[in-house]
Amino acid sequence: MWKEALTDFLLTLSFISRLPVKIKNIDEWEKRIKRIPVYFPVIGYIPGTIYSIGVLFAHSLSNYKLLFIFGAMAIGYYFFDLFHFDGLLDMFDGFLNQSNKERRLEIMSKGNVGPFAVFYGMLYILLFYQLMSTLNWQAFLFASVFGRYEMALLLTFSKPAKPKGLGAMLFPYNKRYTAYSMIFLIPLLFISPLMFFISLALTIITAYLISRVSEIKIGGITGDVLGGSCLISQMVVLLAFYIFHTFGR
């Protein structure tokens, strides 16, 4: 049992990160790949810790604030969030294009960076940097973990937009996996119950809204939407904490 769980975890790590994980002789590949959403939140603790350490050092050693934030973002994005950022850029170009579903899917599948991706992607990074300069370390741990949990929720609410592709590999999706993945959220409850329930509520709402918008725009979700939604949910949680931080002064 533990060997199977470890294999599924490593498969998840290789699926949604750039870490060089090699798994030999995987049995029941199609069955295992559909189980990986269970471990999505676990992966979120790794970039969340990277960003949290960057924030802690940036706030305690303010003379080197730029260096620590830049370093944390460079590491966190290279190994984890760039994978999702690529999907986010494709979402911007596809969803904001005023054409039909087929054309939007074509734009997203090509992966070319268009004006919508450049502009809104730049705004996203600038906003993330500013939030790292302002918020405490807990905010980034919560946002990173719940951002990954949102992907499991999105699969629960959605259907695939295409019969093939990265997103379609996870369907048909067993909704019990989303419930199982909640187990890995429990440690955050002990850090801050308030932050936990705010994050959970916003993540559920975000996943549902993205599911509905994606169905209207392209008829369902793709791997790009799945990855991009992780960063959207992450940002929604961070902005909520920023609002509480600002008005709580």
How far separated are the first and last CA of the chain, in Å rounded? 49
Q: Give the pLDDT score at 45.
A: 98
> pTM above the 0.75 mark?
yes
Average the pLDDT over 151-162 and give the result.
95
8, 35 contact by CB (below 8 A): yes
The C-alpha torsion from 18 through 105 and 207 to 14, rounded to 10°, is -20
SS3 181: helix
User: Does the pLDDT of residue 232 top 80, yes or no?
Assistant: yes
pLDDT digits (tens, 9 = 90+) for 81-106: 998 999 999 999 999 988 888 888 88
Q: Give the pLDDT score at 163.
A: 85
- Band the pLDDT of 248: cuts 50, 70, 90: low
SS3 221: strand
SS3 137: helix
**Distance, CA of 95 to CA of 200 (rounded, Å):** 26
- Band the pLDDT of 7: cuts 50, 70, 90: confident
DSSP 63-92: GGHHHHHHHHHHHHIIIIIHHHHHHHHHHH
| Tokens 């970039």 -> residue | 47
pLDDT digits (tens, 9 = 90+) for 55-71: 999 999 989 999 999 99
